Structure 1
Amino acid sequence: MTTTPYLSRRHLLLAAAATPLASALPFSARADAPMMGASLAPYRRFKLGAFEVTTLLAGTRTVPDPHKIFGLNASDEEFAAASKANFIPTDAAQFFFTPTLINTGSEVILFDTGLSPAGTIAAIEAAGYTADQIDRVVITHMHGDHIGGIYEGAPTFANASYSTGEVEMDHWDMSGNDGFEAKIRPIQDQFDLMKEGSAVASGITAMEAFGHTPGHLAFHVESEGERLILGADFANHYVYSLAHPDWEVLYDTDKSMAAQTRRNMLDMMATDRVPFIGYHMPFPALGYVAARDGGFDYVPASYQTMIEG
């Protein structure tokens, strides 16, 4: 418990008497107090049963005119109303890029690799790990902000094996995409390919969450009866994607399938009261889902993961 030091009447009188003297000092005699700018902790760690889960802030970016990304099938009035109701502007949105580390006690698994090696490695090292300690890298899907940190002239995680979805790999293998060619092609033959129910490790299994990309995967994590969903990009905004899961998103390959996947997953998490990590949710990217008015609310995690037992 935090306590406030006792202040006697004499202390208060002395403090009051000193106030005019402080204000009378010439401005030049006062120390400068340079502004430090906004800050974000680069990681957040919590226990999930016997596992240790760490979310990593690999980068953040302000994006203008979010209605050109979210709610393509919503009117300007609907978009403005949803924004106003949640105290966020209509002319800009903040994107977060959040890979996740899971330490199972026997191996360290990294889910997605951020925009570049630099941002992801900085967050990994701030969290107390090194790139060489990563045993496995799992790619949820092949968009550039998820594969950007996996390879740059050489593998970023020299001791790691790799896993991704079979459907996802097949799609991008034939796409001619520059990002895939630069980041995945050099190590493609080292990937294990997964499908629904494939195990990354004991207690961590793949879930088909198709639509955002053709083979997009989420992951169900369970240890000692505690559960978590690694949602990746099934929902990309904590307001627009949850309150309006049927709103179309620019980056979804199959918009109808993505909307159905979003609604199915959100309904499951709300019904089962399972927390999730969303790659683009406000950092530290961990929250819960509550059903409301045909849509859902995002409930950011507070102290739930700090309480054991």
Structure 2
Amino acid sequence: MTSREMFSMNRRTALALGGAGLLASGLTSAPAQASVPVVTGNEFSPVTEFTVGTFKVYALLDGGFLAQTPQKIFGVDQSAEDFEQASRDHFIPADKFRGFYTPTLVNTGEQLVLFDTGRGEGAQPGSGNLLKALTAIGVEPQDIDVVVLTHMHGDHIGGLMRDDEPTFSNARYVTNAVEFEHWDGLGPDGGRGAQAFAQKVLPLKDKVTFIEPGGEVAPGITAMEAYGHTPGHTIFLLESNGQKLMLAADTANHYVWSLAYPDWEVIFDMDKKEAAKTRRRVFTMLAEERIPFIGYHMPFPALGFVEKQGDGFRYVPATYQLQFDEA
């Protein structure tokens, strides 16, 4: 059997994906229904798999980037001295940082639901690898039932189209109406973001449905408002068999500069004061309820917890607690 044959599976098999059954505090494993191939050797696996109740969840590495002068993005309202000291206190450099793009696939048992689509092939060196990550778990683009767009920034909508055709040809699309209408209202001359929206989202308009806070994408997947980063930025709470996971999208874009200092201004937050309020509200809830979350730009696999620390939050990456089988 060739490696391609081994990775290939039809839609029915894709919905039965199982595998390692990773778990965390509040995450438990389900009986494996089919094994998921694991990349071995010197290659880096583009997928982390775990379960939330009966849901199988896959953090998918679309790619990443190395950037200089992070204070042009984070803590733009802080002095250079304070930014450097805060970075030093957390053992990270103040003059460079590494970012990641992590879409998430949720297999509910009935539907394959993809949250965000990465940068898209060819958009940025080191990114655009979402389809490779899906292939690694035997999922083809046409297998996706629902694509959820947390917001319309280019690193979330970039993978929607390939060669002017929908990447996920059989999917319906779900997003927040305020978000859609904001970008639609700018028109194609409204800047780079509006142009990306016109190229990537508008061709799919007839297949888009809108969701309000409190609405469900599917049973157990509930929308929550997290406005500020963009006008309709929306996050999603997964709940199954009493277990929870928050897909926090861009509520916090860095594990130190956004979480330890939630009031610091971030250049990409369109309403900076509202974004700071949202960070405090969302991460206070996650800390108090000990709910794990996936943050789109957190260090891959972007899965962790937060706890209150001082006037902010401490990010606690998920480690081996995800590797125990249910007794």
Question: What range describes the TM-score normalised by the shorter chain of this pair?
Answer: 0.7 to 0.9
Opposite residue 62 of structure 1, the aligned amino acid is L
**Number of the residue aligned with 2:218:** 201
CA–CA separation in structure 2 for the residues paired with 1:39 and 1:75: 41
1:115–1:145 CA contact under 8 A, matched in 2: yes
TM-score (norm 2): 0.81
- Give the C-alpha shift of residue 39 in structure 1: 6.1
Summarize deviations over 1:87-125 as a string: whole Å, max 9, x none: 211111111000000000111000000000452101111
1:191 aligns with 2:208: yes
Q: Classify the secondary structure of the residue corresponding to 2:74.
A: coil
Is the helix fraction higher in 1 or 2? 1
1:84 aligns with 2:94: no
Q: Classify the secondary structure of the residue corresponding to 1:248.
A: coil
Opposite residue 133 of structure 2, the aligned amino acid is A
1:213 aligns with 2:230: yes
1:99–1:279 CA contact under 8 A, matched in 2: yes
- Give the C-alpha shift of residue 280 in structure 1: 0.1
Q: Classify the secondary structure of the residue corresponding to 1:196.
A: coil
1:48 aligns with 2:65: no
- Give the C-alpha shift of residue 212 in structure 1: 0.2
The structure 1 residue matched to 2:185, chosen from 165, 174, 184, is 174
CA–CA separation in structure 2 for the residues paired with 1:283 and 1:141: 20
**Number of the residue aligned with 1:282:** 299
CA–CA separation in structure 2 for the residues paired with 1:283 and 1:172: 29
Percent identity reads 51
CA–CA separation in structure 1 for the residues paired with 2:262 and 2:160: 31
The structure 2 residue matched to 1:127, chosen from 126, 129, 137, is 137
Structure 1 residues 40 and 87: alpha-carbon distance in aligned structure 2, compared to 1, 3 A threshold: farther
1:249 aligns with 2:263: no
**Number of the residue aligned with 1:64:** 68
Opposite residue 267 of structure 1, the aligned amino acid is T
- Give the C-alpha shift of residue 305 in structure 1: 2.7
1:47–1:305 CA contact under 8 A, matched in 2: no
Opposite residue 128 of structure 1, the aligned amino acid is G
- Give the C-alpha shift of residue 40 in structure 1: 3.8
CA–CA separation in structure 2 for the residues paired with 1:151 and 1:236: 25
**Number of the residue aligned with 2:115:** 111
**Number of the residue aligned with 1:225:** 242
Larger Rg, first or second structure (1 or 2) = 1
Opposite residue 229 of structure 1, the aligned amino acid is M
- Give the C-alpha shift of residue 127 in structure 1: 2.5
Structure 1 residues 73 and 146: alpha-carbon distance in aligned structure 2, compared to 1, 3 A threshold: same
1:164 aligns with 2:175: yes
Opposite residue 289 of structure 1, the aligned amino acid is V
**Number of the residue aligned with 1:17:** none
Opposite residue 57 of structure 2, the aligned amino acid is V
Write out the 4+ residue segments of structure 1 that deviate beyond 6 Å after TM superposition: none
The correspondence of residues 119-158 of structure 1 with structure 2, limited to 5 A, is: 119-152=129-162, 153-158=164-169
Opposite residue 169 of structure 2, the aligned amino acid is A
- Give the C-alpha shift of residue 128 in structure 1: 2.4
Structure 1 residues 39 and 244: alpha-carbon distance in aligned structure 2, compared to 1, 3 A threshold: farther
CA–CA separation in structure 2 for the residues paired with 1:71 and 1:193: 33
**Number of the residue aligned with 1:238:** 255
1:299 aligns with 2:310: no
CA–CA separation in structure 1 for the residues paired with 2:136 and 2:241: 28
- Give the C-alpha shift of residue 231 in structure 1: 0.2
Q: Classify the secondary structure of the residue corresponding to 2:198.
A: helix
Summarize deviations over 1:241-279 as a string: whole Å, max 9, x none: 000000000000000000000011110000000000000
